[in-house]
Amino acid sequence: MEINNDTLSNASSGEHSKHQNFKVPGLVSGFSKLNRNQRIDLLNTYLDEDAIDLLNAFLLPDEKVQQVISELSENFLSNYYLPFGVVPNVLINGQMYMVPMVIEESSVVAAASRAAGFWAKNGGFSVRVIDNLKKGQVHFTWSGSERFLKSVFLHIKEQILADTAPVTANMELRGGGIVDVELLSLSHKLENYYQLDVTFKTADAMGANFINTCLETMAVTLSNFMSQYSDKGQLEIIMSILSNYTPQCLVECTVTCPVEKLEAMSGAYLPQEFARRFALAIKMAQVDVSRAVTHNKGIYNGIDGVVLATGNDWRAIEAAGHAFAARKGTYSALSDVEIVDGYFKYTISLPLAVGTVGGLTKNHPIAAFALKMLRNPSANSLMQITAAMGMANNFSAVASLVTSGIQKGHMKMHLVNMLNQLGASDLQKEAARKFFANKTVSFAMVSDFFKKCN
Ligand code: MEV
């Protein structure tokens, strides 16, 4: 598509913002039909700088790989890089892993590495998958009687299983398929609202496409079947979609050691004092939502890093985890702690619907490499590894919080970001590292140091 005059004049007629030194774009039509150069031209009509050099500088030299990335989503302009790092010494159920992580927060890999190293010497992470079931629903309304709908449901179910058989055949060969189809009435919450509530096993796939295809097939079957009873009521399909709430796709990770072994993490505190303070911090996160959200965010620092590195859907994982944290009616910590008979035992339980086949896992070369680093795990193994990294980050964060505080380590890791922001050379960075080795780091102090050494 050509950029038409309307499009250009709309974009360039944007007014200069009062507060910022750039124009606001006007209404653009047909943007997704433009090619990349046209999109950038259009951007240049309202940006007061040439975007093309910057956006081109971040393209990959391998055109084939670049094309895979470019085609992942619409309106592609350039790549957006994040660091791909690794956490060594992750001992999970007796197996050692080097775990890949993609994360922008400078202290996360360091925090995970610290905890992983500690637990590798103290029995490692014990992780078990409690279940690996997914759900999806056909949401519909039925104006007739609930009793009638229930009376014909077994026939509907039979027909549904027959109609979805071609869709599920392959998945069944891989150990997955439809586990159950239930009829739920939600008409006490919303007039005439019902669901086909379907449970799936999706083997090593996250299974979104499989589930949605099954559900859409079921919706047609349901609608066709009920059309013969139009004298009894009207059935209207509203939508068919998987649920990202996956409380039956649950994993539990535990670490345990004699309390005295915690000395390596206890800073200025005796290990017994450290354990007591740690346990209190967890109880606080269990009873107070302000603390619980931050506590769980610390867990997701580790989880999202692995989820992103392995090409999984971190929005789905986060949404499920936070809903699970609120399952009892109040948002709470996803972890629990016990100190019994001189032993410290710390446990995290959360839903983790990850996949190791399909989606980005093969398409994205770095995601495929990340899975290779993990010895091409099954979905269950990836759930275990991911949960362990959530535990590692959370354990490290809480250990710091109840001893030295978080800022000391965090700001040390952040030092290089501040120096980069100030445009420091390698020599200046080295000098700053030495200067701040035993000092508290703040942006004011770093920029002061930078001014002096310029
Ligand atoms: C920072 O990214 C994460 C922490 O805030 C987590 C926590 O407070 O437990 C340190």
Are 398 and 278 contacting, i.e. CB atoms less than 8 angstroms apart? yes
Distance CA 224, CA 222 (A): 6
> What is the structure's pLDDT at 49?
67
Ligand 1 mutation pick, 401, 407, 410, max ligand atoms within 8 A of CB: 401
Q: Which of 109, 294, 346 to mutate to test the pocket of ligand 1 (most atoms within 8 A of CB)?
A: 294
Residue 406 Cβ < 6 Å to ligand 1: yes
Q: How far apart are CA 240 and CA 398, in angstroms?
A: 41
Task: Give me the phi and psi of 246, to 5 degrees please.
Answer: -125, 55
Spacing of C-alpha 341 from chain mean position: 37
Fold for 134-243, please state it: Alpha-Beta Plaits (3.30.70)
Please give the full DSSP string across 383-403, using - where no structure is assigned: HHHHHHHHHHHHHHHHHHHTT
Tens of pLDDT, residue by residue over 169-182, are: 999 999 999 999 99
408 in active site: no
Q: State residue 132 phi and psi, 5-degree precision.
A: -135, 65
| List 313, 364, 412, 414, catalytic entry | 313
Q: Is 398 in the pocket of ligand 1 (CB under 6 A)?
A: yes
Does residue 142 contact residue 194 with C-beta atoms inside 8 Å?
A: yes
Q: Which regions in the chain score pLDDT beneath 70?
A: 1-23, 48-49
**Domain boundaries 84-131+247-405, CATH class:** alpha beta
Q: Which amino acid is at 191?
A: E
Kindly report the pTM of this predicted structure. 0.90
E strand or H helix that includes residue 278: helix 271-287
410 is catalytic: yes
Q: Provide the pLDDT for residue 331.
A: 98
Q: What tens digit of pLDDT does each residue of 105-163 get?
A: 989 999 999 999 999 999 999 999 999 999 999 999 999 999 999 999 999 999 999 99
Give whole-number Cα distances, 243 to 137, 189, 265, in Å: 7, 19, 40
d(C-alpha 119, C-alpha 405), whole Å: 21
Expressed in angstroms and rounded, the spacing between residue 301 Cα and the centre of ligand 1 is 8
Please name which of 26, 44, 23, 40 lies closest in space to residue 75, comparing C-alpha atoms. 40
105 is catalytic: yes
Task: Name the closest-CA residue to atom 1, ligand 1.
Answer: 298
User: Closest ligand 1 atom to the C-alpha of 291?
Assistant: 8
With a 6 Å cutoff on the Cβ, whether 294 touches ligand 1 is yes
Domain boundaries of the chain, sorted by first residue: 2-70, 84-131+247-405, 134-243, 414-453
Q: Give one DSSP letter per residue of 337-396, joined into a string.
A: EEEETTEEEEEEEEE----SBSTHHHHSHHHHHHHHHTTS--HHHHHHHHHHHHHHHHHH
CA of 8 from ligand 1 middle (Å) equals 46
Among 282, 346, 406, which residue has the most ligand 1 atoms within 8 Å of its CB, making it the best to mutate? 406
Burial label, 13 (beta-carbon count in 10 A; 0-12, 13-18, 19+): middle
Residue written as token pair 């109840």: 402
* 311 close to ligand 1 (CB < 6 Angstrom): no
318 lines ligand 1 (CB under 6 A): no
298 within ligand 1 shell (Cβ under 6 A): yes
The residue annotated as part of the active site, out of 23, 232, 297, 322, is: 297
Q: In angstroms, rounded to a whole number, what is the distance separating the alpha carbons of residues 24 and 47?
A: 9
Active-site entry in 105, 163, 197, 273: 105
Ligand 1 and 301: CB distance under 6 A: yes
| Ligand 1 in reach of 106 Cβ (< 6 A) | no
